[in-house]
Amino acid sequence: MAKRWVRKDRRIYDFSLCDLCGTAGGTTGRCNRSICMACGSAQCSSNGLARGTCGICFIGLLPGWSGNNRKCSYKGCNNQAIARVDGQNSLRCREHLERGKWAGYIARRLAERNLAWIEIEE
């Protein structure tokens, strides 16, 4: 069985279309499963409603959202971008994400993931 991360404080209402995360948007039954390109956390695709980025690490791009197939913003780099940092048009690949103030950011977010998220069986 596949697993995915959902918020601990999620609310499932009568009008919720996803019985895992409680979102009222999307398809009936369950959201599509999406895996963050930066931190690797499986989650409901509706988490990408904020600029198409991960709800866990906040910067990782989620497949299926616009902008997830773009190139890294570093000059001369043609690698695929995995994260959106420092504004709308600043995209970074895995190699360039670990530079400057973003060094170790993903590891810190994953260490804090258990505070607000739980992993459940689908």
3-state secondary structure of 102: helix
Residue 77 lies in a domain: yes
State the burial class of residue 98 (Cβ atoms within 10 Å of its Cβ: 0-12, 13-18, 19+).
middle
Domain count, the chain: 1
Name the residue range of residue 21's domain: 3-112
Residue 39 lies in a domain: yes
Provide the mean pLDDT of the chain.
88
Per-residue pLDDT at 87: 75
Residue 29 lies in a domain: yes
Give me the residues of the chain with pLDDT under 50, please.
Answer: none
Per-residue pLDDT at 48: 75
Contacts of 93 (CB under 8 A, 6+ apart): 71, 72, 74, 77, 79, 80, 81, 82
Per-residue pLDDT at 26: 57
Residue 118 lies in a domain: no
Q: Residue 60 corresponds to which amino acid?
A: G
Residue 117 lies in a domain: no
Per-residue pLDDT at 27: 60
Q: Are 14 and 24 in contact (CB under 8 A)?
A: no
